[in-house]
Amino acid sequence: MPHKVKEEIKSFKDLGLCDELVEACDSLGWKTPTKIQVEAVPHALEGKDLIAHAQTGSGKTGAFALPILNALLDFHSKQGYKSAPIFFALVLSPTRELAIQIASQFEALGSGIGLKCAVLVGGENIMQQQISLGKRPQIIVASPGRLMDHLNNTKGFSLHELKYLVLDEADKLLSADFEKALNDIFNVIPRDRRTYLFSASMTRNVKKLQRACLRNPVLIESSECCTVDTLKQQLCLMPSKYKDCYLVYILTEMSGYACMVFTRTCYATRLLSRILQNLNIRAIPISGQMTQQMRIGALNKFKSRECSVLVCTDVASRGLDIPAVDMVINYDIPQDPRDYIHRVGRTARAGRSGVAISLVNQYEAQWYLLIEEFIGKKLPKYDPQEEEVKLLMERVEESKRLSLMKLKETGGAKKRRGGDEDDEDIERYLGVKGKPSKFGKRE
Ligand code: AMP
């Protein structure tokens, strides 16, 4: 049956999906397909490879999960449940958190059809992962390094029957960071497969794309530099010495908002969280320096709204789906405009509204000009009364002095005792103290 033209697609049924999946979307409360789902799913159902530029929050996980599940169900109905290949699809993700999230969307969509999904990511127990592979899951969501670990060391595990490969955040996966692991993976999976590349920003480097061995892929362009219309983006210019005050001012003005504050360094996440906590703002840091257990703990505190401010590095900018984020603040404006897109994409997801405010001091103007050029529009100013902001100066400075002192003390204690008191403080706060993860390493 020829597929409907895009304008005619109003429902999941119109996309050409089977009834089980239409029902699954309905039970998740997905009423109509999102733009990327409308654009990607019909091509995928025709058996095409895809390169999709899809912004975060656009429903891109559904856009690749639905056709894969449709193909799996097709396989079941034509050849019987038992003859369907195990390890039917592999989804690679550059971060652990994103992998966990992708798997939970697969599981939600596949809950009515007995779908099994294994997550193979670093920082988690290898044996448990081996057990989950032993259950013969149809879907594997993995980070490249840990997947290779299993391919080399887990008896009986191979991907020679794989039918689908997805690279989520493909631009990151095709970068030098993952080159070795990805080449190793490409060498052990069948060439005869479908391949989907999904990313909010996409490399134009043809050589890199060729490595993914796509076959006549359909290119789905939702302009690389777009942000959603429901996102209100603003710029706040200030002298550098008032930056902390402006941050506290905005968080106080917008109190009640769930907010992510992005900084450049792990140290800054700790310092800023302490400064804010001293001022009775419920902030929690998350960075690559924390153990996996602490990171999940911090995310959960934020998701449950126990903490209203998540102070993070770019570890949290890619792919994390935290539905209730109302505001993103760039405390440090990113130097790569693509990071800006990823960060602000944490809010205004799936049709909701959101605010993104970027704090820019006299030394950072060049970076925001790059961003404006990239997104093709001028950011309007967020311009509070400077006098009102300055009223906060004394309290913020005092809190900063105390926080710096504390971090210096705990840093000194770390050297003396070989432990990290600041980590211990965070662990106590998260309630994970005393339960160190065996594989929880610091990156
Ligand atoms: P993603 O871009 O894949 O990270 O998805 C962002 C969020 O949108 C997730 O919470 C999904 O559950 C949700 N979502 C995906 N597709 C739809 C849809 N068609 N309608 C409503 N929500 C959706």
- State which ligand 1 atom lies nearest to the alpha carbon of 37: 19
Residues 19-221: name the CATH superfamily.
Answer: P-loop containing nucleotide triphosphate hydrolases (3.40.50.300)
- State which ligand 1 atom lies nearest to the alpha carbon of 34: 19
- Angle, CA 215 vertex, CA 211 and CA 217 arms, to 5°: 100
- State which ligand 1 atom lies nearest to the alpha carbon of 323: 10
Query: What is the Cα Rg of the chain in Å?
Result: 23
For ligand 1, atom 16, the nearest C-alpha belongs to: 59
**DSSP state letters, 341-392:** HHHHTTSS-TT--EEEEEEE-TT-HHHHHHHHHHHTSPPPB----HHHHHTT
Paired residues of 232 in beta bridges: 355
Residues 231-436: name the CATH superfamily.
Answer: P-loop containing nucleotide triphosphate hydrolases (3.40.50.300)
Per-residue model confidence as pLDDT tens for the chain (443 residues): 345 556 677 799 999 999 999 999 999 999 899 889 999 999 999 999 999 888 667 789 999 999 999 999 998 887 776 666 789 999 999 988 899 999 999 999 999 888 999 999 998 899 999 999 999 999 999 999 999 999 999 998 999 999 999 999 888 898 888 989 999 999 999 999 999 999 876 655 555 666 777 888 888 876 445 667 778 899 999 998 899 999 999 999 988 899 999 999 888 999 999 999 999 999 999 987 888 788 888 888 998 989 999 999 887 666 566 666 899 999 999 988 878 888 888 887 766 788 999 999 988 988 888 888 877 778 899 988 888 999 999 999 999 999 998 888 876 555 554 445 555 555 555 554 433 333 233 32
Taking the C-alpha atoms of residue 410 and residue 421, their distance in angstroms, rounded to an integer, is: 5
The answer for residues whose C-beta is within 8 angstroms of residue 144's C-beta and 6 or more apart is 92, 94, 173, 178, 181, 182, 185
For ligand 1, atom 5, the nearest C-alpha belongs to: 59
Query: What is the CA(359)–ligand 1 centre distance, in A?
Result: 29
For ligand 1, atom 14, the nearest C-alpha belongs to: 59
Residue whose entry in the numeric block shows the structure tokens 């009102």 = 388
Query: What is the CA(118)–ligand 1 centre distance, in A?
Result: 21
Query: What is the CA(58)–ligand 1 centre distance, in A?
Result: 6
- CATH topology of 19-221 equal to that of 231-436? yes
For ligand 1, atom 4, the nearest C-alpha belongs to: 57
Can you give the pLDDT at residue 306? 92
Burial 270-305 (b: 16+ CB within 10 A, else e): bbbbbbbbbbebbbbbbbebbbbbbbbbbbebbbee
Query: Ligand 1 pocket: which residues have CB below 6 Å?
Result: 30, 33-34, 37, 56-62, 321, 323, 349-350
Can you give the pLDDT at residue 428? 53
Query: What is the CA(67)–ligand 1 centre distance, in A?
Result: 15
Query: What is the CA(59)–ligand 1 centre distance, in A?
Result: 4
Q: Which residue among 34, 320, 341 is best mutated to probe the pocket of ligand 1, counting the most ligand atoms within 8 A of its Cβ?
A: 34
Taking the C-alpha atoms of residue 282 and residue 294, their distance in angstroms, rounded to an integer, is: 17
For ligand 1, atom 19, the nearest C-alpha belongs to: 33
Can you give the pLDDT at residue 321? 61
Whole-structure pTM value: 0.62
Q: Domain map of the chain by residue range? A: 19-221, 231-436
Query: What is the CA(346)–ligand 1 centre distance, in A?
Result: 12
Asked whether 157 and 133 are in contact (CB, 8 A), the reply is yes
Q: What are phi and psi of 442, to 5 degrees?
A: -90, 135
Query: What is the CA(31)–ligand 1 centre distance, in A?
Result: 11
CA 308 to chain centre: 19
Q: Which residue among 23, 28, 41, 168 is best mutated to probe the pocket of ligand 1, counting the most ligand atoms within 8 A of its Cβ?
A: 28
Query: What's the residue count for the chain?
Result: 443
Query: What is the CA(260)–ligand 1 centre distance, in A?
Result: 20
